[in-house]
A and B are shown apart, each in its own frame.
Chain A
Amino acid sequence: MAAALAATTALGLTACGGSDSGDSADSKTVRVTLANHVWTENIKKALPEFEKSSGLKVEITQLGEDQLSDQYNVKLNAGSSDLDVMMYRPLQEGKLFAKNKYLADLTDKVTSAKDWNWDDFQDGPVGATTFKDKVVGVPLITEQEVLYYRKDLLKKAGIAQPPQTLDELKADAAKIAQQNPGIAGFVARTGKSAAVTQFSSFLYSMGGDFIDDSGKAAINTDAAKKAYALYGGLIKNYGPKNVSTDMSWPEAMAIFTQGKAAFYTEADSLYANATDPAKSKVSDTVGFAPFPAGPAGSKPYNVPSWALGINEQSKNKDNAWKFIKWATSKEMVLANQKAGVPGARQSVWENPEGTATYPKDLAAAIAVSTKNGVGHDRPLVIKVPEAREIVGQPIVDAITGQDVAASAEKAQQAFQALLDDENK
C-alpha cells in the first residue's frame, strides 16, 4: 500500500511535469518574456519568419506590467534558468537587475555584430541600458511625453491652436470644461506610482527635478511645489467627476478615447490607442502637440521605456542573442515604428519612412521632444518602486485637494531618507 502510494504520487508528479526545464546547453527553444505592449503584438506576428530562418523555436510569455515584475522577482531571485530573453524597463528595474547581476553582459555581443550596427542606437537610451560601462540591454522602445487634444472641442471654444504654455493649457482646459458639461477639460494618470512618469515633464518644465545636481532630494523646491499644484489642480478642477486616484494609462486613456476629455498628457508610444477607430471614439478628431512650455521651457522626458536583456543564468545565451539581434534589427525597428512604436535607432528616425505612418502633428511633436527631452521620467535610484510612491504622494494629495506644500515637505524627508539609505 505504501509503495503503491509513493508510486502513484511520484507518477502523478512526473506526469504533471509539463515542459521540462531544458537545461541542455544551447537548446533550440528560446524562452522570451515580454510585456503587454503594441510592440509585443507586432513581434508575435513576425515571429514565424524568424523561426523559419533561424531554425529556433521561440516560446513567448506575455504578462501585464505588474505581474511581469512579480515573476521576474521570484524567478530571478531563485536563480531560475528558464528565462532567456527578458523585456525589462531600464529606468524601473535596470539598476536593481544590474546590481543583482541578473543581466548578462552583452558588450562583446553588441560590438562584434557589425552589420547590426550598435552605433545606430541613440545615446540617451544606450546610457540607460549600460551599467558600470557594461552593456546589459538593447533599447527597444523610446517614449516622449506629448499633449493629446481634441481638435473639435478646441474649435468649438474658438481656440486657434493647441496650448503653447502650461498657463494656456490651464486656461483652455478651464474654458472647455465650463462649456461642455460632462466633458473634462483635462485628464491624466492619477495613480500614485503611475502618475510619476507623466508628472515628470511638468516638474522639469517648471524648472525642477526629483534629485538636484548634488544628489539631494529636491521635491520640496518652489518649482516642485508649483508643479505638484499645477498637475493635481488641473485634474481636481477640470478633470472628470468622481475621479479615481488609481488611474494608470488604460483608465485615463479610456476616458479620453470615450470622448470625455479635451486634453490628455501621455506617452507618445500609446498614440495608436487614440487614433485606432476600433479602440477610440475620437480617432478622427484627436490632435497631438509638443509638451506645453513652463518657466523653464518645454522639457518633456525622452526615455527608453523598454529594453531586451539576457538572463545571466540562461544556458542559452547565444540563441537568446540571435532573437534580440533579429528583434532589434533595422528592418524590425522600422516595421515596428511604422506600426506606431517609436524605436531607438537614429537611422530609422532619419528615414522618412520611419515617421510616414505617424500623424503629422505627432511626428512634429516627437521631433521637438527629442531635442529638448530629459533622459529620465522617474527618480534614478535602485528602489524605484518605493521612490515612485514617495514622490507620487503629493500628486494624489493635490488631486484630492489636500495641502500640497505640507505634503511635498513630508515626501522630501522620506525621499531624502531613501537616498541616504542607498548611498550608505
Chain B
Amino acid sequence: MAVQTPAHHAAPARSAPTPGWARWANRHMKWLFAGPAMAFVAVLIIFPVGWTVYLSLTDAEGSVRADKSFIGLGNYLDVLTDTDRFWPAVGRTVAFTGVALLFEVVLGMAVALLLWKPFRGEKWVRAAILLPLVATPVAVGMMWRLILDPNIGFANQALGWFGIGPQPWLSGQKTALMTTAMIDVWQWTPMVVLILLAGLTSLPEEPHEAALVDGTTGWQRFRYVTLPMLMPTVIVAILLRGIDAIKTFDILYATKGKGGGSFHEVETLNVYAYGLSFDYNEYGIASAVLVIFFLIIVGSMWVLTARRKEDS
C-alpha cells in the first residue's frame, strides 16, 4: 500500500521534459518529504505542551473548562514542597528505573555473552528471547498477578519447595515496587540482550585474538577488551530502555490499579500524574508535575547523550 514498485526499471535518459510542478517539487524535496511528518508531530505535541505549561500556571481543577485564575508558580511551589506524594513518587520512579535498568543491563550482558558464539539450537533460544518483549504489557501484568498471588500463586509454591515461606510480592507494602521492577526486568531484558548481541557481533576480532594469544583469562578478556569496545552500545541500550522504563505505566496500573495501591507503593511520577488528572481532576497540579517529570526525563537523557559523545 505504501510502496509502489516501479512499472519499469530505470527510466530512459532525458525523456519528456518534467512539468513545472514536478520541478518545483524536486527543488523543495527536502521539506516536502520531511514536512508532513514533522507537521503531524508538531501539531500533536505543540498544543498539548503549550496547554500543559499554561495549565500548570493556573489553579485549574474539577474541569478544564471551569473558571481558572493565573497563579504563577504556585503549583510548582506546592509540588516541590510536597513530601507526602510528590517526592516519594520521584524516589519510586528513580528506584524503579534504576533497579530495572541495572538488572536488565547485567542480566542482558550475561545472556548476550552466553549466546554470542553459535551453537546447535540457537534459533530456538533466540525465538524464546523474543516472546516476553512482544507480549502485551497489560496481559503480562495480569499473568504475574496470578503467578504472584500470595495464596494460590505458583511463585510461593515454588519457594515452598526450598523451604522458604510465602512472600507477599505485589501485595506487600515494601515488596510491591521491586516486584513490579522485576516484572519489567522479565519483559525487557530480552531487548537489552538483542541490542548487546548486535553490538557484540559487530566487534572486530583482532583484539580478542591477540588477548587470547597473551593467555588471559576469560574474565580479563571481557573486562579489558570486550567491555570497553562495547560501551557505546551499552549506553545506547540504557538510553533506549531508560526512556521507556521511566515512563512505565501499563504494568503498574494493571497490577495495582489507581494510585499505585493503598500505600501508593508503586506510585511513580507517571502513575501520580495520571491519578492527579483523571482521579482527582487537579489539572493545574497535574500539569506542574508533568512539566517537572518531562524536565527530569530530558535532563537524564541529556546527561547520557553527553557521555556518549565523549566516549565516541
Direct A–B contact in the complex, CB atoms closer than 8 angstroms: yes
* In the complex, chain A residues whose CB is within 8 Å of the CB of B32: 1-2
Does B74 count as interface, using CB distance less than 8 angstroms? Answer: no
Does A69 count as interface, using CB distance less than 8 angstroms? Answer: yes
Report how far A240 CA is from B168 CA in the complex, Å.
13
Does A246 count as interface, using CB distance less than 8 angstroms? Answer: yes
Report how far A254 CA is from B59 CA in the complex, Å.
42
Q: Which residue of B lies closest to A397 (CB)?
A: B263
Does B132 count as interface, using CB distance less than 8 angstroms? Answer: no
Pick from A9, A66, A245 the residue with the most CB of B within 10 Å: A245
Min CB distance, A417 to chain B, in Å? Answer: 11
Task: From the candidates B62, B151, B279, B280, name the one contacting A99 in the complex (CB within 8 A).
Answer: B62
Contact status of A242 and B168, CB under 8 A, knowing A383-B280, A385-B280: yes
Q: Which of B219-278 contact A (CB under 8 A)?
A: 256-259, 261-263, 277-278
Q: Which of B2-38 contact A (CB under 8 A)?
A: 25, 32, 36
- Contacting pair B171 A246 (CB below 8 A): yes
Q: Which residue of A lies closest to B24 (CB)?
A: A2
Q: Which of B173-221 contact A (CB under 8 A)?
A: 173
- Contacting pair A244 B171 (CB below 8 A): yes
- Contacting pair B258 A73 (CB below 8 A): no
Q: Which residue of B lies closest to A194 (CB)?
A: B262
- Contacting pair A73 B151 (CB below 8 A): no
* In the complex, chain A residues whose CB is within 8 Å of the CB of B278: 69-70, 73-74
* In the complex, chain B residues whose CB is within 8 Å of the CB of A192: 259, 262-263
Does B88 count as interface, using CB distance less than 8 angstroms? Answer: no
Does A90 count as interface, using CB distance less than 8 angstroms? Answer: no
- Contacting pair B171 A100 (CB below 8 A): no
Q: Which residue of A lies closest to B259 (CB)?
A: A389
- Contacting pair B280 A190 (CB below 8 A): no
User: When each residue 57-73 of chain A gets 1 if its CB lies under 8 Å from chain B and 0 otherwise, what string results?
Assistant: 00000000010011001
Q: Which of A238-294 contact B (CB under 8 A)?
A: 240-246
Task: From the candidates B25, B36, B151, B281, name the one contacting A240 in the complex (CB within 8 A).
Answer: B151
* In the complex, chain A residues whose CB is within 8 Å of the CB of B170: 244
* In the complex, chain A residues whose CB is within 8 Å of the CB of B71: none
Does B98 count as interface, using CB distance less than 8 angstroms? Answer: no
Does A362 count as interface, using CB distance less than 8 angstroms? Answer: no
Q: Which of A65-119 contact B (CB under 8 A)?
A: 66, 69-70, 73-74, 76-79, 96, 99-100, 102
Q: Which residue of B lies closest to A245 (CB)?
A: B262
- Contacting pair A96 B151 (CB below 8 A): no
- Contacting pair A1 B25 (CB below 8 A): yes
**Chain B interfacial residues counted at CB < 8 A:** 27
List 3 A-B pairs, minimum CB-CB distance, nearest first. Answer: A244-B171, A242-B150, A192-B262
Contact status of A77 and B64, CB under 8 A, knowing A385-B280, A389-B259: yes
Does B300 count as interface, using CB distance less than 8 angstroms? Answer: no
* In the complex, chain B residues whose CB is within 8 Å of the CB of A370: none
Contact status of A100 and B62, CB under 8 A, knowing A66-B257, A73-B281: yes
- Contacting pair B150 A9 (CB below 8 A): no
- How many contacts A-B (CB < 8 Å)? 73
- Contacting pair B166 A242 (CB below 8 A): yes
Contact status of A191 and B262, CB under 8 A, knowing A69-B278, A73-B278, A242-B168: yes
Provide 8 A-B residue pairs closer than 8 Å at the C-beta atoms, listed in order of the A residue: A73-B277, A96-B62, A100-B63, A100-B66, A192-B262, A193-B259, A245-B171, A245-B261
Does A5 count as interface, using CB distance less than 8 angstroms? Answer: yes
Min CB distance, A408 to chain B, in Å? Answer: 16
- Contacting pair B280 A246 (CB below 8 A): no
Task: From the candidates A193, A240, A383, name the one contacting B258 in the complex (CB within 8 A).
Answer: A193
Does B65 count as interface, using CB distance less than 8 angstroms? Answer: yes
Contact status of A382 and B62, CB under 8 A, knowing A246-B256, A246-B261: yes
Q: Which residue of B lies closest to A67 (CB)?
A: B278
User: When each residue 131-157 of chain B gets 1 if its CB lies under 8 Å from chain A and 0 otherwise, what string results?
Assistant: 000000000000000000011000000
Report how far A386 CA is from B62 CA in the complex, Å.
12
Q: Which residue of B lies closest to A12 (CB)?
A: B1
User: When each residue 213-246 of chain A gets 1 if its CB lies under 8 Å from chain B and 0 otherwise, what string results?
Assistant: 0000000000000000000000000001111111
* In the complex, chain A residues whose CB is within 8 Å of the CB of B262: 190-192, 245-246, 392, 396
Does A180 count as interface, using CB distance less than 8 angstroms? Answer: no
- Contacting pair B263 A9 (CB below 8 A): no
Report how far A322 CA is from B72 CA in the complex, Å.
47
Report how far A79 CA is from B64 CA in the complex, Å.
10
Does A416 count as interface, using CB distance less than 8 angstroms? Answer: no
Report how far A386 CA is from B272 CA in the complex, Å.
13
Contact status of A242 and B259, CB under 8 A, knowing A77-B65, A79-B65: no
Does A400 count as interface, using CB distance less than 8 angstroms? Answer: yes
Task: From the candidates B36, B150, B168, B256, name the one contacting A5 in the complex (CB within 8 A).
Answer: B36
Min CB distance, A65 to chain B, in Å? Answer: 10
* In the complex, chain B residues whose CB is within 8 Å of the CB of A69: 278-279
Given contacts A77-B65, A192-B259, 14 further A-B contacts (CB under 8 A): A2-B32, A2-B36, A76-B63, A77-B64, A102-B63, A191-B257, A193-B259, A241-B150, A242-B150, A242-B166, A242-B171, A245-B262, A245-B263, A246-B257
